[in-house]
Structure 1
């Protein structure tokens, strides 16, 4: 009898998918959707497999020091990411996620997106170690989206909805690392990075964007980006949507492509889904029927608007209009993963550099940092990727994929500092000294705040080392 009870207990544990255990066959999100007649046509995650049978790579990283790449896979079939593989490969350097593999057989992989009609430049890949969490009892990395980071399929994807076909999408994201700018989306978008009109997108979003007032509270809200509008319900506004602000959020959108759509949200750590809208598509022109183009985006808008921020852990797109029962079962599986960790601040190997007046060393241009962007002082912001620096083994200081550099590799007092591709020159070498200064050996000078100014936007320079408060910079 005891033996039979023990066996039953093991079977029950497998069926509900306790964190740290192998999932039962057929129990993962794409197994559930497929069994309900709405198969996954795209499935992306840096955290885990979403098919029980999947045993391929989750994502690919590129190492900054030498441009080498590595595919990051799973600890076991149908299991969790092998974060130790990434840590070993990226040790003593930084890595960016340059490819997110599609776990379906359709190969709808995502890559940093090209420039679009939004006027923003091409996207860069996310820093691979920006945010570590725990899932299934294992360390894993989320995709930390900052302005300028984003991903897109190469043109129209395979099997995704077009021209008013039904579809569903969910993502697990952060409810604490959010913003109001456009756009932190996952789902169906234009096949090229251009706004081609109402109804040409069908993507789920979590943001503090109140596009159609009035909205209830300050969000973040789960919304549908249907192009030229972030819809909470009906024709846009929906005061019944009170938002989802938990560290991990399940965001769900489904759309029959003709008359009806639904939005749901839930805490990805516990409980079920709340339906925020289940009703008519907007009567504004272009949304009945929908006119999807079948591209896939992550972290951006359809025209490559990439000003917003967010964090992505997993998500899928399905063909057909999912049942409530399937969505509830998927939510139960997500909860069983046991997601945990802080999601509102970067927690990778980077640290802040605190300067005079308690300000932070910051890159101009809101995290987008191209070559030649000025390095300055700014109020410290815990979520700002460009205020988190890595002190590399070769003495350089890097953030958002580039290094703290002296303009023109100069050595004269007053030479300004900037962000530039890491290349190992003398103007990128910095030594933290016991008096708190950051010393550049090539010039024999120290990082300096002109005149001791601490105002936001103060451009930093090098100057003769003098031990003053203007040259005190603490690496945390």
Structure 2
């Protein structure tokens, strides 16, 4: 078949899909309107996959650790494994079609750490995500995500996302119903737009079934980050792009699309979809407003991408060949059979906004756990002696690891009958300044700011609470250091 014939037929198929979408516009519009009325009500009545089904492009995978993605779903969202005894626990929803039962995880994982072992597929296809095996770019198995490092809320209900540090990855190489070859598909993911890097590759979507790079056009996945080795968009990044294998693409050109802007919403809706010689990137703020189209048009102008050669595996947090140097945070995402209409996607975005994603309020008291190590900020020897440099240690739930965040920004700890404050030693502000415990005196070197990206900065210095050398061993000291976005500078209190 000639390129002209294939293009004509592909566009004809798209026109037929568009007519089908128009016929469903009233229904989809009604669904979108319903989502705007009540976030609490929508969780019990419908989800994104109900909207996709109504639009004629049903979900073939539906992954979320925060909520049900079908109004009728009452099964497990994900599974955790705790370190203390290796026991497993499925975490489900509070009610049918509702939000995650985060309290069940909190109770199960109390006084120890937990990792996410399975992210269940809520569709009838059972395309669950589990620990990624090794691949052509990196050996495996990959790391599993700490279950507590991405706290969030949905309409006030506490939940946890999937915090992907470099080396972490999930995969399913044996799926059902996922697009292969040049078949049409759509996908979206809700991500933390402030958590990214220039590593390869933080993806969610369609990949190779062998965990190896098998050539151009063998992938179709959402990418988020600011790597510029391949294609890129405008501004400094990060960008929503498509990983189509052997290239990250922002449009038809293999290098640059000025219409693909830098986006860093705290909660980001990212969408990619593809059909015969047609694909698109759309994105928006998952907390408010609609979607913008950053690209919609023919496949990239390089060999191997028209037609596509998709294989139908599903990946999260890694590249198709298990490239795993990237980081990011995932809350929910789906993959569809068929090329969704914009009307359907707009209704899905309205549903996402109505879900009410918001930052999790910092707990008043609890362990301060490091993202890079999974270990807790600790007072050596549980001693009340002033001036001891704090460290990380395995989380025990003891008093020496229980920190209270006060209204005036102090972090206090009660040890040996003494209340002490977390303190930048001597009021110093230079890189490498020891972070110690000291009698509370109200100084600015004892005030700490919790930031949306998980960092904790000293009010006086502006520098980050940092695990020295990005170490992960017990007794690694904690210090001030210039903020650079590393996982050794990200913390979760609670």
After TM superposition, the score normalised by the length of structure 2 is 0.70
**Residue aligning to 2:297:** 279
- Which whole-Å CA distance do the structure 2 matches of 1:460 and 1:86 have between them? 24
Deviation of the 1:390 alpha carbon: 5.2
Distance 2:118 2:472 in 1: 35
> Compared with structure 1, are the counterparts of its residues 281 and 82 closer, same or farther at alpha carbon in structure 2 (3 Å cutoff)?
same
What is the CA-CA distance between 1:393 and the residue it aligns to? 3.9
Aligned to 2:36: 16
Are residues 1:38 and 2:57 paired?
yes
Tell whether 2:166 aligns with 1:133. Answer: no
Cα distance per residue 1:95-136 (max 9 Å; x no partner): 100000000111100001011111243212111111211113
Q: For the Cα contact (< 8 Å) 1:351–1:390, is it kept in 2?
A: no
Which residue in 1 is equivalent to 2:187? 169
Shift of 1:473: 7.9
Q: Which position in structure 1 is the counterpart of 2:84?
A: 65
Distance in 2 (CA, whole Å) between partners of 1:275 and 1:252 is 9
Distance in 2 (CA, whole Å) between partners of 1:435 and 1:314 is 41
Question: Does the aligned pair in 1 maintain the 2:467–2:478 contact within 8 Å?
Answer: no
Residue segments in structure 1 that go unaligned for 5+ positions in a row: 1-10, 354-360, 370-386, 398-430, 437-448, 464-469
Residue 340 of structure 1 aligns to a residue in which SS?
strand
- 8 Å Cα contact 2:102/2:160 also seen in 1: yes
How far has the Cα of 1:193 moved from its partner?
Answer: 1.0
Mapped contact 2:74–2:97 kept (Cα < 8 A): yes
1:290 and 2:287 are equivalent in the alignment: no
Contact 1:131 1:346 in 2 (8 A): no
1:461, distance to aligned residue in structure 2 (A)? 10
How much has 1:19 moved relative to structure 2? 2.6
Alignment of 1:98-177 (within 5 A): 98-153=117-172, 155-177=173-195
Corresponding residue number in structure 2 for 1:402? none
Please tell me the root mean square deviation across aligned C-alpha atoms, in Å: 3.8
Q: Deviations over 1:138-166 (max 9, x none)?
A: 0010110001111001x231000001110
Query: 1:167–1:318: 8 Å Cα contact kept in structure 2?
Result: yes
Q: Structure 2, unaligned stretches of length 5 or more?
A: 1-30, 376-390, 402-413, 421-432, 434-465, 481-490
Who is 1:218 aligned against? 236
- The equivalent of 1:422 in structure 2 is none
Greater mean deviation of Cα atoms: 310-319 or 215-224: 215-224
Q: Using the alignment, how far apart are the partners of 1:212 and 1:186 within structure 2?
A: 18
The answer for the alignment partner of 1:181 in structure 2 is 199
Which position in structure 2 is the counterpart of 1:74? 93
- In the TM superposition, residue 212 of structure 1 has moved relative to its aligned partner by 3.5
Shift of 1:282: 1.0
Normalization by structure 1: what TM-score? 0.72
Separation in structure 2 between the aligned mates of residue 287 and residue 13 of structure 1, nearest angstrom: 38
Question: Structure 1 residue aligned with 2:328, among 281, 302, 310?
Answer: 310
Task: Look up the SS of the partner of 2:229 in the other structure.
Answer: coil
Deviation at 1:455, TM superposition (A): 12
Residue from 228, 232, 235 that aligns with 2:253: 235
Structure 2: how far apart are the matches of 1:62 and 1:321?
A: 37
Corresponding residue for residue 288 of structure 2: 270
Question: What corresponds to 1:195 in structure 2?
Answer: 213
Q: Distance in 1 between matches of 2:279 and 2:33?
A: 35
Distance in 2, matches of 1:151 and 1:24, equals: 28
The DSSP-based 3-state class of the residue aligned with 2:357 is coil
Deviations 1:200-245 (A, max 9, x none): 1000111112233663111111100001111000133201111211
User: Deviations for 1:49-93, whole angstroms, at most 9, x for unmatched residues?
Assistant: 111111100000001100110100001101110100111111111
Instruction: Tell me the distance in 1 between the aligned counterparts of 2:467 and 2:86.
Output: 37
SS in 2 for 1:164: coil
In the alignment, is the contact (CA less than 8 A) between 1:164 and 1:291 conserved in 2? yes
Aligned residue in 2 for 1:392: 396
Contact 2:170 2:315 in 1 (8 A): yes
Change (3 A) 1:204 1:57: same
**In the comparison of the two structures, how many residue pairs are matched?**
384
Residue of 299, 303, 318 corresponding to 1:300: 318
Equivalent residue of 1:391, what SS? coil
- Contact map agreement 2:225 2:237 (CA 8 A) in 1: yes
Q: Show the counterpart of 2:368.
A: 351
Contact kept, 8 Å, 1:28 with 1:50, in 2: the verdict is yes
Task: Write the distance in 2 (CA, Å) between the matches of 1:57 and 1:88.
Answer: 17
CA distance in 2, matches of 1:314, 1:194: 25
Q: Judging changes above 3 Å, is the alpha-carbon distance between structure 1 residues 265 and 362 closer, same or farther for their aligned structure 2 residues?
A: closer
Q: Post-superposition shift, 1:249?
A: 0.3
Contact 1:247 1:342 in 2 (8 A): no
Contact 1:17 1:23 in 2 (8 A): no
Q: 1:458 and 1:140 mapped to 2: Cα distance?
A: 27
CA–CA distance in structure 1, aligned partners of residues 478 and 419 of structure 2: 8
Find the residue that maps to 1:98 and give its secondary structure: strand
**Cα gap change, 1:457/1:270 in structure 2, threshold over 3 Å: closer, same or farther?**
closer
Distance 1:135 1:455 in 2: 31
Q: Secondary structure at the match of 1:30?
A: helix
